[in-house]
């Protein structure tokens, strides 16, 4: 069933459609809270009444039929929801992930675990780095830490507001903490890390509201290529 105007306003309807939420089934899949946050992330000025409307559509009722307790529950979910953002088109994300993969190749050539990262601002790479833990004799020399430091030097600011970070591997807890502290807008990673991943595999620090996170996360971009590079590296070491 297609979403329509009415009951949604034209601005809300058009923005939802641009976000790939075109049917009631799509809205069910996202949920009213995430759809509401996506509308705000897309730049739409909306009020709580839009949230009530979205939830009412999902439930098949009128907004005025929602009880105060149900509205309060929605507001609590809104407060606790992980950061949400509108991510770039897939082709663009794959382009920058290939830049990160090129950095990972440099790590492999140095005998380092092949993980690479780039920082993108306004559609341009402003910093690129890779793992240097072995050569740097420091566990802190992960690709993410290195690239955040490099980007900070470029911007002359440790806070990287409005920047995206592309990483070939899901970040660990150390790097996730640094990404959150840097106020990175979006983190896009390639392969999941089932042993140490802190973006959902082992834990999800980005989703912990107590950490005051502002960073939205998306994984799985060129995941096969990123994972295959790691497999080749570890196979050659055995």
Q: Would you say 28 is a known binding-site residue?
A: no
The reply to whether 142 sits in an annotated binding site is yes
Select which of 73, 105, 112, 144 is catalytic.
144
Query: What's the residue count for the chain?
Result: 238
Coarse DSSP helix, strand, coil percentages of the chain, rounded to the nearest 5 percent? 50, 15, 35
Q: Quick check: is 70 catalytic?
A: no
Q: Residue 172 annotated as binding?
A: yes
Residues ≥6 apart with Cβ < 8 Å to 96: 118, 120, 125, 164, 166, 188
Which pairs with CB-CB distance under 8 Å and at least 24 residues apart come from 233-237? 233/108, 233/113, 233/114
- Residues that constitute the known binding site for Zn(2+): 142, 172, 175
- Residues that constitute the known binding site: 142, 172, 175
Residues with catalytic annotation? 144
């Amino acid at each position: 069933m297609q979403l329509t105007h009415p009951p949604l306003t034209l601005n809300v309807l058009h923005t939802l459609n641009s976000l790939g939420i075109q049917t009631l089934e799509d809205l069910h899949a996202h949920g009213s809270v995430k759809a509401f946050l996506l509308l705000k992330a897309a730049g739409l000025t909306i009020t709580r009444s839009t949230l009530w409307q979205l939830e009412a559509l999902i439930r098949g009722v009128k907004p005025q039929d929602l009880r105060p307790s149900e509205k309060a529950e929605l507001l609590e979910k809104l407060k606790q929801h992980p950061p949400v953002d509108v991510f770039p088109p897939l082709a663009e994300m794959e382009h920058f992930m290939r830049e990160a993969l090129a950095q990972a190749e440099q790590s492999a050539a140095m005998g380092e675990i092949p993980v690479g990262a780039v920082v993108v601002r306004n559609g341009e790479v402003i910093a690129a780095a890779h793992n240097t833990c072995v050569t740097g004799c420091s566990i802190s020399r992960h690709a993410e830490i290195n690239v955040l430091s490099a980007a900070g030097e470029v911007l002359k600011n440790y806070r990287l507001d409005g920047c995206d970070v592309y990483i070939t591997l899901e970040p660990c807890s150390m790097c996730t903490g640094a990404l959150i502290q840097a106020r990175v807008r979006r983190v896009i990673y390639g392969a999941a890390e089932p042993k140490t991943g802190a973006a959902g595999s082992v834990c999800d620090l980005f989703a912990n509201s107590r950490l005051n996170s502002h960073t939205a996360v998306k994984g799985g971009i060129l995941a096969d290529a990123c994972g295959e590079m790691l497999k080749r590296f570890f196979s050659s070491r055995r």
